[in-house]
Chains A and B, each alone.
Chain A
Amino acid sequence: DAGVIQSPRHEVTEMGQEVTLRCKPISGHNSLFWYRQTMMRGLELLIYFNNNVPIDDSGMPEDRFSAKMPNASFSTLKIQPSEPRDSAVYFCASSPRTGLGEKLFFGSGTQLSVL
Chain B
Amino acid sequence: AQSVTQLDSQVPVFEEAPVELRCNYSSSVSVYLFWYVQYPNQGLQLLLKYLSGSTLVKGINGFEAEFNKSQTSFHLRKPSVHISDTAEYFCAVSGPQGGSEKLVFGKGTKLTVNP
Contact = CB atoms under 8 A, between A and B. Distances in A.
A101 B96 CA distance: 10
Interface in B28-76: 32, 36, 41-46, 49, 51
B106 A42 contact: yes
A103 interface: yes
Nearest to A109: B43
Given A42-B105, A42-B107, A101 B99 contact: yes
Contacts, number: 59
Given A104-B46, A104-B103, 8 more contacts: A42-B107, A45-B103, A98-B99, A100-B32, A101-B94, A104-B36, A104-B44, A106-B44
Interface of A: 4, 31, 33, 42-43, 45, 48, 55-56, 91, 93, 95, 98-109
